[in-house]
A and B are shown apart, each in its own frame.
Chain A
Amino acid sequence: MARRLQSWARTLAKLMLLVLGYFWLGAAYKLFYAQTHDVTKFKGRIPIPYYQQQFLLDALLYQTWIFGPDFRAFIGELPSLGTLVSTNTQAALADYCRDREQQLSALPDRYPFSLFAEEALEDGFLYSQGASFLGLVGSREEPKWLFATLNEKGWLAAGVPDDQRAAELSRRLADEYPTSPQAPLALERVARAEAQAGRRSESLTIYRRLLAEYPRSPQAEEAAEALYRAAREAGRLQQARRYKQRALEAAERAARERYAGQALPARATLSILGFRLDLSGLELQLQQVGPARELAGVAEREAARVQAYRGLDDEQKNDLRERREQLEEVRNQLWVADLFEALKVELPGPAPRAREFPVSGEVSLKGKPLEGVEVILSERRHGRPGPRALPRTLEGTTYRGRTDRRGRFRISGVPAGIYLPMVVLPARAENAVPILPEGMDPRGGSGFPQRVVVQDKPVQLPPLRLRTALSTRTFGEAPPTGEAIRLEWERWPGAAGYAVRVRPVRFMRGAFLRRVPREKRNAFRDDPVLWSAEKVKSTSVDCPLGTLVPDIPPQALVMQYEYEVTALDGKGKVLAENSRPLSRFFLSTEARELMLKTAPPPPGDTPQRRRRRSRREER
């Protein structure tokens, strides 16, 4: 018996070793391949790092130790599935990303001779960005900066994701490992971060450096494109054309090198086609009909070739359709150019650039000048950007000014035109008191213009007045108090009472629509108040859990709420209100379980559905 057992044990051990050996050999091969090849091209749409993708099974089997502790630290551990389904998902992911960021950013210092130092910094950047975004969306981190836009109802403020740490990691990678394949990408990220922070000339310098030092990298294309946009905005069309030409060359070179000796695949051709058509339009603007016609000719042949492909996916088909429309546009413009030529009229060149004037103003907090507030003039016409689009919006704005110690700002060289003002301000003042622009309440009358019109002289904007806001204490994970959530805030001097309203955060209001009759849903979308309390005398109030149940109760796992507290005097006059980006919360595990236990049946739950459900349960 003992011998048989021994034999079984030996067999199982061999089998296990065989399986593990398979994984070890596979891991060794993958590692060897990754260290000897440029793996940046394996990045998919979801930004999961290469090593994490490839060593997923090894990580699950705890077999990453075979390449040493630095590799183990580099791969890390996957987020616990239990945590993801028991606590708020965004918050749990934000925590995971933050932990990984810290782990990865420390790796090069901890293991100076590690093979994975560059990759660790690269992955650290991705985790850092994820942590900032998820931390903001998942109410895990208070925003340090607010982004405020003005509309007819007053100022609207939202938190700005803090990407400084991510930018710092990219800077480290670009400076410490300039020969790494990740260096051009890191440099591009640094340039973007500089542009987002309003340091435009520094950003352009980095793009120029990228173009000069890494001309064969795919990022050279993006750098040339960014420089093209800058030159175009400045009205330097000739220079813009040169940069566009370089972008086209970079895209073509990268594609030709990657697919040497082959016809270019559809995706690469479509990308090149876009550059070619843009360049053709630009040539036409510069009255260069011949080169424009030639470019259009090449583009036409390329478009015809892509169209001949059989296996285009939907995205490529859409791209191709857009390119063909663009091509038709260029062809039409060429026809117009021929019309001018046939009628012996000189082609209209680029429209003269509008004259430039400075725009200045001042920012004050309770009458005292405030330093470090940024006023942005945007040509954007699509209202307020969301948290995802915000960094891109900030990156694309040229006309920005930051207040000095006297609270004054000056934006020089603003071409005549109409602009939307936007403001980036600190979420809290030096004494940690939250601040907001005046005129946050509807029809509050901020005195600041909704549109800045620059005509034919320098513009002096009315002062932008900021004021302190009511300070709230409930933020992030909210535990239950009985069958409610306690919302707390600081006392406001002179307040006789407070009005409190609880809403879902902006992008989650759709989860509560069914509780409202169909005809009132539009009004609910505008102001989705889930629960309110008027004339609260104390500085806390209990919001019943039952009022926070979404239409599909399990969605409570990802739900985020915000609350508004308005301090009122004895006559009901508004004295102050809180800063909503600093007053967001989500339900703790206990609160959510309690809520689901006491949750009323979801709206629209008909007797038939109930019967069907009970039958299913019986089965």
Chain B
Amino acid sequence: MTPRECWLTAGLVTSGVLCGVGALWQQARYHDARDAVNRYVALDEREEKEDPTQAALVRQARPEIRTALANGEFDAALKRLRALEAEDAEATSPEKSGPGLPLDQLWPPNSPERRKVQEVLKELVRKQAQGYDLAPAQNKLVEVADAARSGNKDQALAAFAEAANQVRSATLRPGFKAPIDPAMARKSPATAAFARQDEEIRKLRAFRSQLPQMAAATSGRAEGPMLERLQSLLDEILAAHEQKRDLRAVLALTKPLGPAFQEAQKSGDWSTLERQFGAISAAIKKAPAFPKEAVKAAQPPASETPPAPGAAPPTPPGGVPPRPDPKSPGMPSPGAGSAENLLKALDTIRALPEAEYQARRPMIAMFLAQAAGMGRPGGAGGGGRRSRGRWIPVGNDLQLLLTPEGGIAGLSLLGEPLSAGMRPGGATLHLEGKGVVPLQAPLTEQKESRFLKVEGPEGALSLLFSPAEDGVSLRMIARRTGEGPAGSLRLSLPIRLGGWRWSAAPTETADALVLAVDAEQRVQAAGGKLPKIVVRGAASALQFEGPTAAEAGYDGKAGHLWVRLPLPAGQPVIEHTVHLKAVKHP
């Protein structure tokens, strides 16, 4: 080869190599771009096809990738695309909370219930704009959603009833004033006055319902008789309102009762309070009647719903009785106000002397249990945590639904709910000379059973709800550590038995009686033993056995199946067991 040929060959080889390298470079340079663009286009197409939730990650990543492509940063775009693919591949399908209930199934279209719901929601919006504290109601609505999304219709409806009640009884936030209702303003002054009085009386009524509990807890103290007098005074006011009398002057006199009560608790001088009671009593007697037209015009629309069971009662006017002094036995209702009330109550508990705290533990437990169920953090936009399901089920074929405070919210037989929309029942203690005290304490879990224990100066009382064969057994053990009067424990189960056949006899073959809707039945122990009670429905029957019980019965008006367990005096340990069984018809 001549040198010229050598140079030529070398040149050709070099050119060939350079071309190859150039081609490879081009490939490497633009492969990323092509790959990125192809993938982006595929992504675009996928987003159009997939449902919005599935494509959420894609939609989120799209702007970022597009910006990278537009800036010529193909490597960055590819990296983001690869990350997206990895993230998308690892995600499983979103978990569903349950079968879910469509709205129409909860409140059928064009039904009065649906209109009622609409009214409540409108009222919520209106009141919130006016400065009312609607956070508890909004939390309840979230509970409605939770129950509906889990497919639990009863629970959703009950939660909505509570929400409606909370909307109605919402209190104004600090710094806001109740607006004058324009509709009411157009009406006569007497009409507006009656409407306002009605509102005040509603609060008083809720407060009145708590007084027996407070009075029972203060028996033997100076406050006790005063609370009893307050009860009778409130009864007088409520009766006068029923007679449509103008109680504006009376209600004005009740306002200073709160501070006066507090003052009397501190000083021990109850004479001022007694004088005020006398003045109120006299004012009630003098109260004139409202004009009939004013009463008629002020009547609320027919869509009023009764307060839901367990709903928070509103604060009474004047706050009567006010926050108790450490020396005083009264306990503010946890539902009666905001978290501030709860804080005040906790301050009070902290300040109690040890002996007094021990004596009042059961009441404090009940109060805290109520407070625990009162309100949960969260609400619209809130990020609070909330437990699922409000009621605690015990049993299978026959299932009791217990409230976290130990009440009995309902009963279902072979999967059929028998207590829908009814007031909860539970245990109440009836002691001679001490009135009626509802037994409430936080439920404790023991394997499949639930346990409730209440302690007091005279001893302890425990109630165990445990699943048994075909049903549920309720075991009550009372231990007396001190002297105390005789009494009884009444257990009430909310149940609708109208149309069912009732038989209570030593043998099941006895004649069965068809129960009317408002029937009342009572069976007493004969020969120291309560006969077995069987209530037969169309497809199933409920069997009730409590041989040591004193009596049992059914109160159709209240919708309660009840049993009374005796607590004789002087017996250190008392034990009763009640069996509830589900029987399926062959």
What residues on B are CB-neighbors of A451 within 8 Å?
A: 340
**Closest CB of chain B to A467's CB: distance in Å?**
25
**Closest CB of chain A to B502's CB: distance in Å?**
41
- From A281, A381, A416, contact of B380 by CB (8 A): A281
Among A284, A304, A523, which residue has the most Cβ atoms of chain B within 10 A?
A304
What mask results when residues 68 to 103 of chain B are scored 1 for a CB within 8 Å of chain A, else 0?
000000001011101100111011111101000001
Is the CB of A345 closer than 8 A to any CB of chain B?
yes
With A332-B145, A354-B173 as known contacts, state yes or no: A343 contacts B56, CB within 8 Å: no
A301 to B91, CA, bound (A): 6
> Is A415 a contact partner of B175 (Cβ separation < 8 A)?
yes
Is the CB of A453 closer than 8 A to any CB of chain B?
yes
> Is A336 a contact partner of B87 (Cβ separation < 8 A)?
no
> Quick one: which of A336-383 are within 8 Å of B by CB?
336, 338-340, 342-349, 351-352, 354-355, 357, 381
> Is B380 a contact partner of A297 (Cβ separation < 8 A)?
no
Is the CB of B193 closer than 8 A to any CB of chain A?
no
What residues on B are CB-neighbors of A340 within 8 Å?
A: 121
A304 to B57, CA, bound (A): 12
Is the CB of B124 closer than 8 A to any CB of chain A?
yes
> Is A285 a contact partner of B381 (Cβ separation < 8 A)?
yes
With A261-B82, A331-B149, A345-B122 as known contacts, state yes or no: A336 contacts B141, CB within 8 Å: yes
A598 to B82, CA, bound (A): 72
> Is B121 a contact partner of A343 (Cβ separation < 8 A)?
yes
> Is A348 a contact partner of B118 (Cβ separation < 8 A)?
no
What residues on A are CB-neighbors of B380 within 8 Å?
A: 281, 284-285, 333, 336, 348
A264 to B343, CA, bound (A): 43
A322 to B128, CA, bound (A): 29
What residues on B are CB-neighbors of A343 within 8 Å?
A: 114, 117-118, 121
With A335-B145, A453-B174 as known contacts, state yes or no: A329 contacts B80, CB within 8 Å: no
With A332-B145, A333-B145, A522-B354 as known contacts, state yes or no: A305 contacts B174, CB within 8 Å: no
With A261-B79, A352-B129 as known contacts, state yes or no: A328 contacts B175, CB within 8 Å: no
Is the CB of A260 closer than 8 A to any CB of chain B?
yes
**Closest CB of chain A to B283's CB: distance in Å?**
29
A326 to B383, CA, bound (A): 6
What residues on B are CB-neighbors of A417 within 8 Å?
A: 173-175
> Is B52 a contact partner of A294 (Cβ separation < 8 A)?
yes
What mask results when residues 142 to 156 of chain B are scored 1 for a CB within 8 Å of chain A, else 0?
111110110000000
What mask results when residues 169 to 213 of chain B are scored 1 for a CB within 8 Å of chain A, else 0?
000011111000000000000000000000000000000000000
> Is A354 a contact partner of B383 (Cβ separation < 8 A)?
no
> Quick one: which of B252-305 are within 8 Å of A by CB?
none
Total A residues in contact with B, Cβ cutoff 8 Å: 65
> Is B142 a contact partner of A416 (Cβ separation < 8 A)?
no
**Closest CB of chain B to A225's CB: distance in Å?**
14
What residues on B are CB-neighbors of A304 within 8 Å?
A: 91-95
A340 to B124, CA, bound (A): 11
**Closest CB of chain B to A217's CB: distance in Å?**
19
**Closest CB of chain B to A91's CB: distance in Å?**
34
> Is A298 a contact partner of B381 (Cβ separation < 8 A)?
no
> Is A263 a contact partner of B83 (Cβ separation < 8 A)?
yes
With A304-B92, A348-B124, A354-B173 as known contacts, state yes or no: A336 contacts B142, CB within 8 Å: yes
What residues on B are CB-neighbors of A151 within 8 Å?
A: 347
Among A261, A285, A522, which residue has the most Cβ atoms of chain B within 10 A?
A261
What residues on A are CB-neighbors of B447 within 8 Å?
A: none
With A262-B86, A294-B52, A522-B354 as known contacts, state yes or no: A308 contacts B384, CB within 8 Å: no
**Closest CB of chain B to A135's CB: distance in Å?**
32
What residues on B are CB-neighbors of A307 within 8 Å?
A: 92
What residues on A are CB-neighbors of B351 within 8 Å?
A: 152
What residues on A are CB-neighbors of B105 within 8 Å?
A: none
Among A336, A349, A523, which residue has the most Cβ atoms of chain B within 10 A?
A336
> Is A335 a contact partner of B174 (Cβ separation < 8 A)?
no
Is the CB of A277 closer than 8 A to any CB of chain B?
yes
A349 to B103, CA, bound (A): 22
Nearest CB to that of B100 among chain A residues? A335
- From A284, A331, A348, A415, contact of B128 by CB (8 A): A348
Is the CB of A455 closer than 8 A to any CB of chain B?
yes
- From A326, A418, A454, contact of B340 by CB (8 A): A418
> Quick one: which of B32-57 are within 8 Å of A by CB?
52-54, 56-57
With A332-B142, A340-B121 as known contacts, state yes or no: A301 contacts B175, CB within 8 Å: no
What residues on B are CB-neighbors of A354 within 8 Å?
A: 131, 173-176
Among B97, B175, B350, which residue has the most Cβ atoms of chain A within 10 A?
B175
> Is B118 a contact partner of A345 (Cβ separation < 8 A)?
yes
Is the CB of B59 closer than 8 A to any CB of chain A?
yes
Is the CB of A325 closer than 8 A to any CB of chain B?
yes
**Closest CB of chain B to A293's CB: distance in Å?**
8
A264 to B83, CA, bound (A): 8
> Is B383 a contact partner of A278 (Cβ separation < 8 A)?
yes
What residues on B are CB-neighbors of A302 within 8 Å?
A: 57, 87, 91
Nearest CB to that of A356 among chain B residues? B175
**Closest CB of chain A to B539's CB: distance in Å?**
34
What residues on B are CB-neighbors of A404 within 8 Å?
A: none
A343 to B108, CA, bound (A): 11
> Is A282 a contact partner of B103 (Cβ separation < 8 A)?
no
Nearest CB to that of A286 among chain B residues? B381
> Is A352 a contact partner of B131 (Cβ separation < 8 A)?
yes
> Quick one: which of B129-144 are within 8 Å of A by CB?
129, 131, 134-135, 138, 141-144
Is the CB of A456 closer than 8 A to any CB of chain B?
yes
What residues on A are CB-neighbors of B57 within 8 Å?
A: 298, 301-302
- From B90, B103, B177, B383, contact of A305 by CB (8 A): B90
- From B83, B95, B144, B382, contact of A262 by CB (8 A): B83
> Quick one: which of A266-287 are within 8 Å of B by CB?
277-278, 281-282, 284-285
What residues on B are CB-neighbors of A331 within 8 Å?
A: 97, 145, 149
**Closest CB of chain A to B340's CB: distance in Å?**
5
> Is B79 a contact partner of A260 (Cβ separation < 8 A)?
yes
> Is A281 a contact partner of B381 (Cβ separation < 8 A)?
yes
> Is A329 a contact partner of B59 (Cβ separation < 8 A)?
no
Among A259, A326, A352, which residue has the most Cβ atoms of chain B within 10 A?
A352
A331 to B98, CA, bound (A): 13
Is the CB of A256 closer than 8 A to any CB of chain B?
yes
> Is B95 a contact partner of A294 (Cβ separation < 8 A)?
no
Is the CB of A319 closer than 8 A to any CB of chain B?
no
Is the CB of B585 closer than 8 A to any CB of chain A?
no
Is the CB of A77 closer than 8 A to any CB of chain B?
no
Nearest CB to that of A330 among chain B residues? B383
With A328-B146, A455-B174 as known contacts, state yes or no: A263 contacts B90, CB within 8 Å: yes
A263 to B97, CA, bound (A): 27
Is the CB of B4 closer than 8 A to any CB of chain A?
no
A282 to B382, CA, bound (A): 8
> Is B145 a contact partner of A325 (Cβ separation < 8 A)?
no
Is the CB of A441 closer than 8 A to any CB of chain B?
no
A355 to B129, CA, bound (A): 13
**Closest CB of chain B to A355's CB: distance in Å?**
5
Nearest CB to that of A277 among chain B residues? B383
> Is B103 a contact partner of A339 (Cβ separation < 8 A)?
yes
Nearest CB to that of B86 among chain A residues? A263
Is the CB of B125 closer than 8 A to any CB of chain A?
yes
What mask results when residues 409 to 443 of chain A are scored 1 for a CB within 8 Å of chain B, else 0?
00000011110000000000000000000000000
Is the CB of A300 closer than 8 A to any CB of chain B?
yes
**Closest CB of chain B to A345's CB: distance in Å?**
4
Is the CB of B385 closer than 8 A to any CB of chain A?
yes
> Is B80 a contact partner of A256 (Cβ separation < 8 A)?
yes
**Closest CB of chain B to A537's CB: distance in Å?**
34
**Closest CB of chain B to A263's CB: distance in Å?**
4
Other A-B pairs, 8, CB within 8 Å; known A256-B83, A260-B79, A260-B83:
A256-B80, A281-B381, A297-B53, A329-B383, A339-B121, A339-B145, A416-B175, A418-B174
Q: List 7 A-B contacts (CB under 8 A).
A: A264-B87, A282-B381, A284-B380, A301-B94, A304-B92, A352-B131, A454-B175
Complex A-B, nearest 9 residue pairs according to Cβ-Cβ distance, in ascending order: A416-B175, A261-B79, A263-B86, A335-B145, A332-B145, A285-B381, A297-B56, A281-B381, A305-B91
